[in-house]
Amino acid sequence: RETIRVSVAIDEASGLLWQEGCVGPKVQKGFFDLRDVESNFKNWQRADRAWAARAAKGERVRGPKGTFTSYFYDGAFHPFGKSWGAPFAPRDKCPLAPPSPPVCDPLVVPLPSVPCVNPPPPGGGGGNGRPPKTPKP
């Protein structure tokens, strides 16, 4: 079973991980996920995670012992183009959208301490806060 590519919910507005309350819209995108690679070898997994963190920054990012990330074994061969074959998922969650202001309701006492917005008039109105004119026969 192939486990290195996964679908992740992303906030399209920010490109970060989706959480309830993001600006949105919520979209599904494919990413690399190396958590299960070489899972029987914990030291190898640590090295894989370190490589993935460097690779997420791009090609030629320095690692231990003078090594660096490379799309393939040398800089001339690019079977997937200048890409890892899939992007790495973002680690951060999207910022939450600001809350909508409360609706002004003169029947609610006390009035909210934050500014409120008037609801649209019933029946569409004229857009000026007054009720629409009654048509003449």
Range 84-100 burial, b when 16+ CB lie within 10 A, else e: beeeebbeeebeeeeee
**Alpha carbon separation from 110 to 58, 104, 105, 107, 113 (Å, rounded):** 56, 11, 10, 9, 8
Mean pLDDT over each residue of the chain, to the nearest integer: 81
**Helices (H), strands (E): how many in the chain?**
1, 3
**pLDDT tens by residue, 90-105:** 989 999 988 877 777 7
Burial (CB count <10 Å: 0-12, 13-18, 19+), residue 22 = buried
Top-confidence residue, 114 or 116 = 116
**Cβ(94)–Cβ(11) below 8 Å:** yes
Question: Rounded distance, CA 46 to CA 33, Å?
Answer: 14
User: For residue 34, what pLDDT is reported?
Assistant: 83
What type of residue sits at position 134? T
User: For residue 30, what pLDDT is reported?
Assistant: 92
**Alpha carbon separation from 36 to 10, 19, 30, 41 (Å, rounded):** 21, 24, 16, 10
**pLDDT tens by residue, 35-79:** 888 888 988 988 888 988 899 888 889 998 888 888 887 667 777
